Amino acid sequence: MAGATDMTDSSDSSGSPESLQAEIKKAIVRSLRLPIAPEEIDTSTPLFGDGLGLDSIDVLELVLELERGFGVSISDEQTGNRVLQSVETIASFIIAERRKNSA
Amino acid sequence: MVTYSPMRPPVGISGVGTVSPFGTSCEAFRDALLDGRTGIAPVCAFDARGCRTTLVAAVGGFDPAAFISPMKLRRMDPTAAYAIVAARIAIEDARQPLQSSGDDSGGVVLGTWSAGGPMTQEYLGALFRSGPAGVPGLVFNSTVGNAAASLAGLEFKLRGPNTTISHKEASGLAAVVTAVNLIREQRAAWLVTGGVDTAYEVFFKAHDRFGVMSPRAAFSSGMSPFDRNRDGFIMGEGGFALRIQSDDLSRDSHGTKYGDILGVAASGSSVRINAWPDQPAPLARTMRLALQDAEIRPDDVDVVYASANATPGLDRIEARALTELFGDTRTIVTSIKGAIGEFGGSGAAACVAALLCGRVGRVPPIAGFSDLDPSMTGLRLARESLPSPGQIVLINSFASGGALFSVVLRVAS
């Protein structure tokens, strides 16, 4: 059975979109205990349905993980539906939020 | 031989499933019992150094990924995994395929003592380490008491009754009693019932502190139920399932493979919290109620699978109750707890053992039995594997705290 959740900070350091996407993949696999390697996730793979096959319980944990690890808040369902589509959309959201906060 | 013409129809048993120290094969479970082997061994799943007790009867040879998808397993408690696998084996054993759309007439009634304890331990560990924001929400669903039965119902799309029963060590047999009553009341056409538990660290160490488990360093002769040198039970774990069905369904499917449940009884003994029953009368009453429900007499009973688990007091009290009903008779008394330990699935395990061993005409010995307690000389105890004298079996499961259950089975010939 899976062990305790690793609470390591997921924040990327290099700042490039690719490294951010890689960090997001790692965070998804770790926090949701997916039985795959982070590299196996394509950045455009849908998180739900026929893609990674996540469900509503995963959404709750994923939202918390993005808050904990990347400092972004997904505060309403509409934002969640827009952001939680793929690693790509999550990365774009994080970059946009960081730009907004640093402006 | 009992000529059986009951007032109420029996409940058929069409499949059985096991997740035990001997793996997921029912034949391996049966053969281990009949050989007098034990699943009791030193604890491997966690560090038991410093504990008074260091033995456990842990599940072995179990690969849940062979039965459950990895996406489901990642947030599943071992208790639920045992339940789903034991249920799947029982359902497939019955050879009555499930519809892909599921079944409104089938359900799940499971007993568990540990329930979602392993995930609760993990969840609380994260809470203490990291605070409320650090808890793994992913596993929260598996911390609830009814997770095992609920997830089993979802796995097989069974939309009939879904119930979890918890009566400590007797949880599994309590579930069987409840399930039989639901079938009799026509609340479901068929049910998966039985018991599941996990011997996880906090649970084990709490019992260790109570000092109720045997302190021996290795499984050894004389630590079995009814032995004069017994010194406490060993904690077990696993999943044991029976697929039971209504008499109407049994007729449609040309009888049932394993046999029938003829009578059930639930009763109680007024004792302190956590104390084992300390008077034989309530135990004898529970057995008599089950026999009355089955419309048979004590001398019709061929074999008893006792609740005795090597606890000095419980075994002595049960032996006195058994002597009242079966003393100096042909009835054979056995207990499988020297092989699989004590846990919330042990009563269901005894049902499965009785059916599997009974079908090959045998009674398993009491594993680890050496010297008879001199106060129990009136009982015909199974010191070795014996030929079964008949088809009628009484199963007892008595819990610390005083919940008492008995079930009467007729094993198919």
Tell me, rounded to whole angstroms, the distance of Cα B324 from its chain centroid.
24
Whether residue A28 is contained in a domain is answered as yes
Low-confidence ranges of chain A (pLDDT < 50): 1-10, 12
Per-residue pLDDT of chain B (413 residues; tens, 9 = 90+): 455 555 678 899 999 999 999 999 999 999 999 999 999 999 999 999 999 999 999 999 999 999 999 999 998 999 999 999 999 999 999 988 888 999 999 999 999 999 999 999 999 999 999 898 788 888 888 899 999 999 999 999 999 999 999 999 999 999 999 999 999 999 999 999 999 999 999 999 999 999 999 999 999 999 999 999 999 999 999 999 999 999 776 665 645 689 999 999 999 999 988 899 999 999 999 999 999 999 999 999 999 999 999 999 999 999 999 999 999 999 999 999 999 999 999 999 999 999 999 999 999 999 999 999 999 999 999 999 999 999 999 999 999 999 999 999 999 98
* Token pair 């309403």: residue: A76
Rg (Cα) of chain A, in Å, rounded?
13
The pLDDT score that the predictor gives to residue A17 is: 87
Is the Cβ–Cβ distance between B262 and B294 less than 8 Å? Answer: yes
Indicate yes or no: pTM above 0.90.
yes
The pLDDT score that the predictor gives to residue B2 is: 52
Whether residue A8 is contained in a domain is answered as no
Q: Do A1 and B130 touch (CB under 8 A)?
A: no
Q: Do B137 and A34 touch (CB under 8 A)?
A: no
The pLDDT score that the predictor gives to residue B8 is: 76
Whether residue A51 is contained in a domain is answered as yes
Task: Give strand pairing partners of B240.
Answer: B18, B195
The pLDDT score that the predictor gives to residue B370 is: 96
Shortest distance between the Cα of B138 and any Cα of chain A, in A, equals 6
Shortest distance between the Cα of A70 and any Cα of chain B, in A, equals 14
Whether residue A75 is contained in a domain is answered as yes
The pLDDT score that the predictor gives to residue A7 is: 42
Whether residue A4 is contained in a domain is answered as no
Whether residue A6 is contained in a domain is answered as no
Is the Cβ–Cβ distance between B321 and B293 less than 8 Å? Answer: no
Residue B272: both structure tokens together: 């302190």
Q: Is B130 an interface residue toward A (CB < 8 Å)?
A: yes
Range of the domain at A49: 17-102
Residues of B in contact with A1 (CB under 8 A): 76-78, 81, 118
The pLDDT score that the predictor gives to residue A9 is: 46
Q: Do B134 and A33 touch (CB under 8 A)?
A: no
* Token pair 């001997």: residue: B22
Cα distance from N-terminal residue to C-terminal residue, chain B:
12
Total of domains in chain A: 1
Q: Is B97 an interface residue toward A (CB < 8 Å)?
A: no
The pLDDT score that the predictor gives to residue B6 is: 59
**Helix H segments across B227-277?**
247-252
Say how far apart CA B410 and CA B358 lie, in whole Å: 9
The pLDDT score that the predictor gives to residue B311 is: 97
Q: Is B202 an interface residue toward A (CB < 8 Å)?
A: no
Of A5, A35, A61, the CB nearest to B71: A35
Whether residue A49 is contained in a domain is answered as yes
From chain A, which residues contact B within 8 Å (Cβ)?
A: 1-5, 7, 31-35, 53, 57-58, 60-61, 64, 68
Rg (Cα) of chain B, in Å, rounded?
20
Cα distance from N-terminal residue to C-terminal residue, chain A:
45
CA angle at B293 for the pair B289 and B298, rounded to the nearest 5°: 65
Domain with residue A71: its CATH number is: 1.10.1200.10
Whether residue A57 is contained in a domain is answered as yes
